Structure 1
Amino acid sequence: MKIYVDADACPVKEVIIEEARDFEVPVILVTSFSHFSNAKQPSGVKTIYVDSGADAADYRIVRLVEKGDIIVTQDYGLASLGLAKGIIVLHHKGFRYTNENIDQLLQTRYLSAMARKSGQRTKGPKPFTAEDREKFRDLFKQVISREKLR
């Protein structure tokens, strides 16, 4: 098992690294070169840099991920590609993408995009909170511990 993180805008990277270390699960942060850092990563964490082009990180993650791995992303498109490969996909606000909820999420995203394209204003996502962080931590620990038992 490995954990792949769509890392460009992920607000729970530290939580993922901390909890994955406790379970001895490797973490791969996939991010664009525009977020390059010389900072040394903790043991068990690897960073893969990709071009800054649209969806470059998503395509790299889809190429690397294997059955039994976990993806953490806020991108519904990447989530649907991961689900199609039978991967566990988590959102940083503490919910799991499923085959039952992904169609509705993609439909909502599409309708919002069409509304914006026609000049309408749409609401953005609610701010990320400490409660969201803890909800993610709880779900993440639950998923890893269950998957480690398999």
Structure 2
Amino acid sequence: MRILIDGDGCPVIDECIKISNKFKIESIIFCDTSHYFDNKNVKVVVISKGVDAVDFAILKNLQNGDIVITQDYGLASLVLSRNSYAINQNGMVYTDENIEELLFSRYISKKMRNSGARLKGPKKRDKSQNTVFEQNLEKLILEKITKEKL
């Protein structure tokens, strides 16, 4: 089990590293050339800029049972289909039960934007979201560890 971080725009990188160190799990940050990370105990994979280039690199490196941190529903869907786990920066764990609805809502929102509608963006991030993320990532790791022992 490893933690793969979609580093482009991820606000919880430090929390991911803290938790991966706590559980002694390897963590890898994937980002494009417009980002720079200099964190200890973390591998950084830098990808040339391109549409979904980082997502494809994550998928190429994905191993069975890895946990991917991403806010991209499309990437999360592909991760789930490859017998791995995905969680977003707010602590929502993507599942087979919720991914179709999330993808459909993304599709509807894109159609609305393309037709000229203006949609509200997400609320400003606060520290409580980081706490929820940490709790849910730890819970996911513990569930996975328990499942592996059975």
Does TM, normalized by the shorter one, top 0.5?
yes
Question: What amino acid is aligned across from residue 17 of structure 1 in structure 2?
Answer: I
Offset of residue 147 of structure 1: 2.0
- With normalisation by structure 1, the TM-score equals 0.94
**Equivalences for residues 6-25 of structure 1 within 5 A:** 6-25=6-25
Contact 1:93 1:136 in 2 (8 A): yes
The two structures, once aligned, show a CA RMSD in angstroms of 1.1
**Equivalences for residues 1-150 of structure 1 within 5 A:** 1-37=1-37, 39=38, 41-43=39-41, 45-149=42-146, 150=148
Offset of residue 145 of structure 1: 2.2
- How far apart are the structure 2 equivalents of 1:16 and 1:83? 19
Larger relative contact order (Cα-Cα within 8 Å, sequence gap ≥ 6): 1
- How far apart are the structure 2 equivalents of 1:58 and 1:36? 17
Question: What amino acid is aligned across from residue 7 of structure 1 in structure 2?
Answer: G
- Give unpaired runs (5+ residues) of structure 2: none
Q: After superposition, what is the alpha-carbon deviation per residue over 1:4-23, rounded to whole angstroms, capped at 9, x for unaligned?
A: 00011100000000011011
- Give unpaired runs (5+ residues) of structure 1: none
* Count of residues in correspondence between the two structures: 147
Matched position secondary structure for 2:46: strand
Offset of residue 36 of structure 1: 3.1
- How far apart are the structure 2 equivalents of 1:52 and 1:125? 25
Q: Which consecutive aligned stretches of 4+ in structure 1 deviate over 3 angstroms post-superposition?
A: none
Offset of residue 54 of structure 1: 1.2
- How far apart are the structure 2 equivalents of 1:124 and 1:85? 30
Percent identity over paired residues: 36
- With normalisation by structure 2, the TM-score equals 0.94
Question: What amino acid is aligned across from residue 118 of structure 2 in structure 1?
Answer: R
- How far apart are the structure 2 equivalents of 1:16 and 1:136? 9
